[in-house]
Structure 1
């Protein structure tokens, strides 16, 4: 029974080992290709070819610098826009709050005025219906 377990374990491990061998083989091929590419780049060419390569490398450097500058200016621009947007939104909020506070104040003044008028009307009604003043 124990040998059956060992055999099952060995059978399970065997495909993994085969996969590792395949990975190692594919890694070996990739390394071989990389070595060939490196040896090809080490081949010394004509002066004209070296000059062309030099121009291409300069173009790469300039383009990389341009992209870097554009990224930095873009970040700066978005940061400024973000700050302006935030400030404007806060200002709009503040203005709206002040407007509503003013409306609340006006409503309270109107309500107080209405309460005074209502009290005067109730007093007048009371006086008009009071039998003591009927002569």
Structure 2
């Protein structure tokens, strides 16, 4: 059975409409994935005595230390590769928020930097919460 969208495109608009639909479908799937990857790789996480300053391609936010919970590494899979991102659990939010700029693809040099960054964040968080 021919899918309805394909049949409609062929009958009503021909190849031009079919090409337009394929382009829209590719943009809907491809564009968010690319923007997410850019945001993870090129964002920054800055630590201050007050909290975390998160800056990504489209978003800037501040999370005070009093609202932060556990900071951990989460493993993600993309096509044939696996990588880790750092996430922080924030009070009042259902899902953890990823920390921009903190990513490891498993290579020893990046893995050491990633682990050291997580340790630094946890130490900073511990000191800030102790002062509250």
TM-score using structure 1 length: 0.26
Query: TM-score under structure 2 normalisation?
Result: 0.27
Determine which structure has greater relative contact order: mean sequence separation of CA pairs < 8 Å that are 6+ residues apart, divided by chain length: 2
Larger Rg: 1
